[in-house]
Amino acid sequence: MPFMYLDTRHAVATPEGVDLELPLAGAVPRATAWLIDFMIRAALLLAAGIALAVTGRFGNGLMMLIAFLVEWFYPVLFELMRGGATPGKKSVGLCVVESDGRPVGFSASIIRNLLRVADFLPFMFGFGILFMLFHPRFQRLGDLAAGTLVVWAPVKTTVPVLPLAPVVAPPLPLRLAEQKAVIAFAERSARLSEARQQELADLLQTLTQRQGAAGVTRLQGMARWLAGER
């Protein structure tokens, strides 16, 4: 059954001995990304057609050239210049990578996109959809020939910066939820007014044994200690 692969992750062993897990994208998000890219390409061709409508034979020839470039090199350009993601893939959260997890290269991108003709057969990507549904890595014919995978792009996360304060250990043991609350206070300090910081810190005088700005600084120092600084 193809649906047993819905949550498949492709394991890759790097030369450094690190095991990577690539979260594979299935047929539905890939179809959504394709539809978005199709509408973008259609809009580009429509705009070009309107602009060249009054230029006669020269415009017709130029329009055919533009249509060829947009149809065949639109995905290649974005895959190479935008981290393996066309606008449609980026909006859904997907990207194309080599089967070993490396960024997609020029030859692989060319091959996978030129073979969209085979995937399109016999009608509306019939072969491509069948291959994606029944292949354990959701690869279509173009992906198999190029050695590429479509995966969920890694989510970029930012590490909160704790305010500078003398590191100090809490004077009494704190439960995990209390530790998280102290660290969360320090992380949000920059977005709070001084009055609001002091108001919140004063609620923990039992812990800080300070009032006002001194209590805020001491609580921030405890957050740094809880975060692992010594």
Structure tokens given for 98: 């080599």
Tell which wins on pLDDT, 121 or 174.
174
Type and span of the H or E element at 92: helix 87-92
> Is the four-CA dihedral 87, 91, 92, 97 of positive or negative sign?
positive
Cα separation, 134 vs 137, in Å, equals: 9
Mean predicted confidence (pLDDT) in 59-79: 90
Cα separation, 187 vs 183, in Å, equals: 6
Residue 2 pLDDT > 60 = no
Give the closest residue to 182 by CA, choosing from 226, 134, 120, 127: 226
Q: How confident is the model at residue 115 (pLDDT cuts 50, 70, 90)?
A: confident
Number of other residues whose CB lies within 10 A of the CB of residue 73: 14
Residue 5 pLDDT > 50 = no
Mean predicted confidence (pLDDT) in 117-144: 80
In sequence order, what are the residues at sequence separation of 6 or more whose Cβ sits closer than 8 angstroms to the Cβ of residue 219? 182, 185, 186, 201, 204, 207, 208
Give the closest residue to 222 by CA, choosing from 155, 152, 167, 147: 167
Q: What is the model's pLDDT at position 6?
A: 47
Q: What is the model's pLDDT at position 3?
A: 38
Write the DSSP symbol of residue 161.
P
pLDDT digits (tens, 9 = 90+) for 6-40: 457 777 766 655 667 788 998 889 989 999 999 99
Q: How confident is the model at residue 159 (pLDDT cuts 50, 70, 90)?
A: low
Residue 190 pLDDT > 80 = yes
Q: How confident is the model at residue 72 (pLDDT cuts 50, 70, 90)?
A: confident
Residue 120 pLDDT > 90 = no
Q: Three-state SS for 136?
A: coil
Selection from 19-28, 54-63, 215-224 with the highest mean pLDDT = 215-224
12-16, 56-60, 183-187: which has the minimum mean pLDDT? 12-16
Please state, rounded to an integer, the average pLDDT across all residues of the chain.
Answer: 85
Name the phi and psi angles at 96, rounded to 5.
Answer: -100, 135
